[in-house]
A and B are shown apart, each in its own frame.
Chain A
Amino acid sequence: MVKAIFEDIRKKLNNIDVKEIAYAERGYHLAIEANLTDIVAIVEFFNSKGFYLADLCCVDYVEYLELVYFFNNHQKLCRVKTTLKLTPEKPVAPTISHIYTMAHWYEREIHEFFGVYFDGHPNLTYFFLHDGIDHYPLRKQQIPVPPEDKKLLNSFKPEEEEDYFSINLGPQHPSTHGVLRVVLRMDGEYVLSAEPVMGYLHRMHEKMAENRPYLQFLPNPARMDYPAALLFNLAHVTTIEKLCSIEVPPRAQYIRTITCELNRIASHLLYLGSFPADLGGLTPFLYAFDDREQILDILERITGSRLTYCYFRFGGLYNDIDDTFIDGTKQFIKRMRERLGMYEKLITKNVIFINRVTGTGILKQSEIPLYGCSGPVIRGSGIPFDMRKVEPYAAYADIDFEIPTGHTGDNMDRYMVRMREMEISLGIIEEAVKKLPSGPYNAEKVPKKLKPPKGDIYHVVESTRGETGVYVVSDESDIPYRMRWRVPSFSNLMTFPALAKGTLLADAIATLGNYDIVVPEIDR
């Protein structure tokens, strides 16, 4: 596949600077250096081949700014990195939002953090930052926002109309799963347009990464996605280990797999509790949290925290597991299998639940590459794409498991995919516990001041919501030059305005709850 794309793009676009890269070192297969004239043609080429835009970010090398586009394919893994250099004084780039719909939000984010202007973007207004911010935060130097741009900051005011009214599904709402604000334009009970406004929980993780050494950044990923903190921990730690070529001992890999799958079940249980709560059924919440407490007890003994774990270290783990953990896990698996049967009867076979959830929020397979969704959202629409199978990390290569998919892509399919994922995770944990090797749990001779070699790397992990990617640019010092987090909830949420259009308000809320978004992950 990589060779085919390599030949194709050389044939189609002459004078293109494309190189093959060692995938094991860098995490991507091809690197293309584009310039302002042919970037749109390159993007159209990838769109025609069925690639999706995995990430679009910007790095500030002080003499120039570099826009980085990552493309990937759902059918067969082929990751392509395209870079575009821009001048730092007045950086202007052509927009690709007419080709890939998700670039709308990515380009707005780059505009407000770096000051890059996108030609042809329909709505280049601020997204994350608050009114009154007067500099571009992620630039290396303090560059003030020019005054003619400041008026873009507060340009979000819907007009008053006679027949339709705009209402806030505001930051403080019991069913927006965090501080997400959606401005709905309603025609009676039907939603005409839904526009999310983000940034109410922007906690500057990417700026913090540029300010502290790699080891000091370890607590941060857990705060990004708190229900599934160990998975984000894993993303961070595996990326840096790949960059520094640190060998992790197999016992640590297996323990990482076991704890990550336990955390995945805990996160899906939270979804199981809160999704029916959005629809009005408040009972499963109590049952789901009861099971969650069992998992939290098991993990608390070895990691020390209940929610925001910081258990992995570069080269292994912080603590070894003991027999109590293994016994507790085995008992939990037995118990959970019975409870899953109970959840079937309580929720899945409930007539009200079935009527409210089937047939709403249908996401078609053809729309998915435009948005770059990932996780249960695309598996519900029938694409069996799971990073644990496509790019195995930790101990997933040795464990056999299947990928659940749905057919139509409605809310019920995504719910069933998550239920099946819980069962499959139980199977993975069982197998990993059986195969657990003995040995050291930490690699030897990992320096305390980690100084990775110069270069960049992109590594992806399948977290509970989808494809979580970390792009690290290192300049040989012990502080990262740039650490970019590609979060799944951001691209999943982009489909919401399209799916909610024209539906009843109750169905729109059900769709929003079904994405299982976590807002601190989006706001980083």
Chain B
Amino acid sequence: MGKGGFHLETQDPIIRLAIADKFLNLARANSLWPMTFGLACCALEMMAASMARFDIARFGAEVFRPSPRQADLMIVAGTVTKKMAPTLITLYEQMPSPKWVLAFGSCAISGGPFVFEGQYNILEGVDKIVPVDVYIPGCPPRPEGLLEGLMKLEEKITGTRRFPTPEQKW
């Protein structure tokens, strides 16, 4: 807390070919490995998304790695308190590149229902300390929301959307 966030130096790859890029991005988008970073209530919806009903494994994101060294997607599910913030930054820095962050739930987006005047302990949004790629609103969002967020992230990585947008039925 108070350190101002993460500090990351990036280095571009040594060899970079446009056609290899397209193929590599496709491979990265279809095999995102999330890190188990369920903090609060949203963690339960994240777990439900990985279970038999809303199978997240069919999109490639099956193995939830506990160690950041083997993960490339950090799903911040839950409220980030000021005590937890340095831990989050450490874990984000320990993930290898390329990495993405999904802010799952309204607490991770902007503090959620716990923002009131005189609040002293939560971080109003995880994007104050790490760069976020996709925001998934809800309190908690449905597991289908997580799947849609994953689709949006794939679209961000590859440029095209693999699955059709579900049509509105009401």
Contacts and interface: CB of A to CB of B under 8 A. Distances in A.
Interface in B24-65: 36-41, 43-45, 47-48, 51-53, 64
B51 A286 contact: yes
B158 interface: no
A202 B44 contact: no
Given A172-B87, A204-B114, A208-B116, A307 B41 contact: yes
B121 A174 contact: no
A289 B83 contact: no
Contacts of B121: 129-130, 133, 137, 202-204
Q: Is the interface of A mostly helix, strand, loop or mixed?
A: loop
B39 A178 contact: yes
B113 interface: yes
Interface centre among B36, B117, B120, B142, by most chain A C-beta atoms within 10 angstroms, is B120
Interface stretch (A75-83, A219-227, A389-397): A219-227
Contact of B79 (A132, A203, A220, A285): A203
A149 interface: no
Given A132-B2, A174-B36, A290 B52 contact: yes
Nearest to B139: A308
A172 B36 contact: yes
Q: Is the interface of B mostly helix, strand, loop or mixed?
A: loop
Interface in B114-137: 114, 116-122
Contacts of A289: 47-48, 51-53
Interface residues of A, number: 40
A211 B81 contact: no
Contact of A227 (B39, B44, B81, B116): B44
Nearest to B84: A200
Contacts of A132: 1-2, 82
B140 interface: yes
A131 B1 contact: yes
B91 interface: yes
B149 interface: no
A395 B120 CA distance: 40
Interface residues of B, number: 38
Contacts of B140: 306-308
B96 interface: no
B83 A202 contact: yes
Interface in A115-138: 129-133, 135, 137
B41 A226 contact: yes
A63 B119 CA distance: 24
Contacts of A308: 41, 139-140
Nearest to A297: B53
Contacts of B159: none
A252 to B, nearest CB: 26
Contacts of A200: 39, 81, 83-84, 87
A213 interface: no
Contacts of B82: 130, 132
A48 to B, nearest CB: 39
A232 B110 CA distance: 25
B41 A203 contact: no
B130 to A, nearest CB: 14
A211 B118 CA distance: 9
B87 A290 contact: no
Given A171-B87, A202-B81, A211 B120 contact: no
A482 to B, nearest CB: 16
Contact of B41 (A174, A204, A520): A520
B119 A293 contact: no
A201 B39 contact: yes
Nearest to B47: A289
Nearest to A292: B48
A130 B81 contact: yes
A173 interface: yes
A290 B54 CA distance: 10
A316 B64 CA distance: 41
27 contacts: A133-B121, A137-B121, A170-B87, A171-B84, A172-B87, A178-B38, A178-B39, A178-B43, A179-B39, A199-B83, A201-B78, A201-B79, A202-B83, A203-B81, A203-B114, A203-B121, A204-B121, A207-B118, A212-B116, A223-B40, A270-B44, A286-B51, A289-B51, A289-B53, A293-B51, A308-B41, A520-B40
4 tightest A-B CB contacts, nearest first:
A130-B83, A289-B51, A226-B41, A174-B66
Given A172-B66, A203-B121, 13 more contacts: A130-B1, A131-B1, A133-B121, A137-B120, A137-B121, A173-B66, A174-B64, A174-B66, A179-B84, A200-B83, A285-B51, A289-B52, A306-B142
